[in-house]
């Protein structure tokens, strides 16, 4: 049950369902966790910038406002980028793409993984074996290599990027869900229901799915973190979102040459990407810990 996940192909600790302690009977304890609170504030700020930023942008994203790599001035508080465009306006406009793409990619990946993991966990036998072996094979290819090849062949339409990143999530989520389903379905209360004539769907609904909810929540969080890293990384390679659109990852790519002359053009988008990922990870960690899912909870 070694579940792999997190940022750039990183691996997450084993997620196992433990009998919740009295304090974690309900989800209220999640909201009291310090990590969740700090993470929510950070994520909230980044989301606000990404969603409402465009309303406050002083210039058009592709307007020429000054000489390339010019420092901050009254009309360009964060300076000017490599193409003479206003950094602040591009920062305020550049968050939407990564936010929606990472959220959608994670959601699709989690949905796919949950479906496959549940099929493997409930049907087991040959079908389950094929699914799980397939995931193992799928994970042997570094995901970035796969994505790059497909981009090279089919271009970089945003929906394709989203789909590819989602595909990268599927095997990891599948493994986690499969492990969780197996774990829960061997519990005696599940067997008791089965012995009392409970049908598969009934058992799943009353006993197994509710225990999966926290696992899925944590998985989704980890997937968002991973998606952000992957999507921003692709943009940084110049292979993600296409110019002239404003995008935080793309801004890093465009302004790479000016790191010493105009560091703000890189550091600001870099900071926002990082804050988004760290914020979501803190929430995830908080949720996982307070629902008793994190590793090493032995005191």
Count CB atoms within 10 A of the CB of residue 69. Answer: 21
Among 58, 71, 77, 210, binds another protein (CB under 8 A): 210
- Select 57 or 147, whichever has its Cβ closest to another protein: 147
Residues written for the chain:
299
State yes or no: residue 82 binds another protein (CB under 8 A).
Answer: no
Among 1, 2, 27, 51, binds another protein (CB under 8 A): 2
Q: Please give the structure tokens belonging to residue 252.
A: 């890093």
Q: Is 91 left (phi over 0), alpha (psi -120 to 50) or beta?
A: alpha
What residues have CB less than 8 Å from 112, skipping those under 6 apart?
166, 167, 169, 170, 173, 174
- Select 40 or 274, whichever has its Cβ closest to another protein: 274
CB of 297 to another protein, least distance (A): 9
- Select 57 or 253, whichever has its Cβ closest to another protein: 253
Nearest residue to 265 via CA among 134, 18, 46, 94: 94
CB of 4 to another protein, least distance (A): 6
- Select 59 or 174, whichever has its Cβ closest to another protein: 174
DSSP 246: -
State yes or no: residue 194 binds another protein (CB under 8 A).
Answer: yes
Among the listed ranges 15-23, 47-55, 62-70, 72-80, the one in contact with another protein (CB under 8 A) is 15-23
State yes or no: residue 206 binds another protein (CB under 8 A).
Answer: yes
- Select 103 or 282, whichever has its Cβ closest to another protein: 282
Rounded Cα distance, 79 and 241, in Å: 23
């Amino acid at each position: 049950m070694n579940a792999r996940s997190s940022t750039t192909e990183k691996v997450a600790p084993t997620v196992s369902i433990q009998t919740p302690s009295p304090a974690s009977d309900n989800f209220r304890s999640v909201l009291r966790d310090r990590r969740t609170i700090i993470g929510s504030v950070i994520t909230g700020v980044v989301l606000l910038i990404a969603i409402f930023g465009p309303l406050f942008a002083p210039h058009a994203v592709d307007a020429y406002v000054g000489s390339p790599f010019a420092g901050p001035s009254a009309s360009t508080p964060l300076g000017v980028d490599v193409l003479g465009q206003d950094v602040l306006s591009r920062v305020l406009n550049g968050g939407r793409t990564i936010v929606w793409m990472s959220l959608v990619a994670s959601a699709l990946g989690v949905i796919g993984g949950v479906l496959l993991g549940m099929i493997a966990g409930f049907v087991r036998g040959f079908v389950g074996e094929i699914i799980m072996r397939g995931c193992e094979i799928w994970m042997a290819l570094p995901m970035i290599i796969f994505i790059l090849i497909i981009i090279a062949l089919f271009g970089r339409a945003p929906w394709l990027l989203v789909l590819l990143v989602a595909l990268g999530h599927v095997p990891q989520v599948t493994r986690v869900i499969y492990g969780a389903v197996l774990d829960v379905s061997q519990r005696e209360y599940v067997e008791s229901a089965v012995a009392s004539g409970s049908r598969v769907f009934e058992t799943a609904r009353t006993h197994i799915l509710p225990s999966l909810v926290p696992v899925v929540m944590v998985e989704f969080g980890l997937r968002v973190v991973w998606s952000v890293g992957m999507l921003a990384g692709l943009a940084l390679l110049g292979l993600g979102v296409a110019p002239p659109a404003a995008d935080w990852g793309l801004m890093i790519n465009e302004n790479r040459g000016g790191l010493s002359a105009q560091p703000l053009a890189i550091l600001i988008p870099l900071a926002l990407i990082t804050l988004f990922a760290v914020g979501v990870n803190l929430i995830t960690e908080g949720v996982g810990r307070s629902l008793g899912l994190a590793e090493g909870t032995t005191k």
